Structure 1
């Protein structure tokens, strides 16, 4: 408990938990919706959009960091937790995995639902999401761990100490002349607990979700 009392660590823990959970929910929703659209809808330019999105994986974060920072500044989202959450909500890797998995869902199920009068949101909610739980679990693990461990983007966006995440707090806890190793190691171990819990909850979907992404398209 002494570790939590050091520099409002419990507050930083709550900030990280809010950012990671909210961002993961947004990422799962956006990625599965995009994967559904790119796998089951036929429209002009679909493949171009998909391959362009995959090509963005080769662009380093440092290249787009300044434009995103200026955009957040114009939107008034700097120095807020939402400024950490929203910009990376849609990830090319997550969309790719979702698209590849949803391709394995038979089109006959979707067509039958459409014939029965089901709308696209009903199909997505009642058919796609339940059948795509393996890939949703995989994306959840990736997204949560990435957001929880992220240091660079929160470091750029956040300037108020009360809004710091766990990773920023751990970095700031390291003093220039001395380090309280006992408290630092205790806080580091405590910060690992949410990741372990998330992985244990979704690990049964992990391998199945990844292997399903290898289907040809």
Structure 2
């Protein structure tokens, strides 16, 4: 596994139009529509609908299948202590989440788990169709992520702060993970988001926590972000 990182903490604020203008005509950023993700970030409190029977079945099937998965496929490493593996063999992805979190429904997402008491401390995954084959097909990593955070993931009234960008490659699949903060007039939330492309799908996994708790739980949440894998279906 190869990985690289870029610190963004000192980067100047860039308006959306300026971000787009940094790309040459040969490297135009082509991002899928993420309106579903943007809307889901606005109101977490209204999205819980109870347990999801399909997810429960998938979780059980995934756990039973772990013993037969080869090291080079879905979960190449042993699940960390105090984490639970979630494997969706039908949709081609896996990740781990803290074992004391519980499942919940998050609008426009395929799977989601959250802290039992802190609703903003959660992980969720969504995917949409794409004609791209790899995240590198989207354009330069820094430009793509700047555009994604400022134009799509952030609401119009939110201030953005991109803190770090990392790239890793596992079993021929490339992943971009970036840490960023979104500040609204009444609250501030920090996220890890990991992007990957496989199976004609653009996968997005996001792990979040209230900014006041981020420093304490950051490393725990980073395990979740770095565990995300996609595989062929």
Larger Rg: 1
Task: Point out the structure with the larger strand share.
Answer: 2
TM-score normalised by structure 2 residue count:
0.30
TM-score normalised by structure 1 residue count:
0.32
Task: Point out the structure with the larger helix share.
Answer: 1
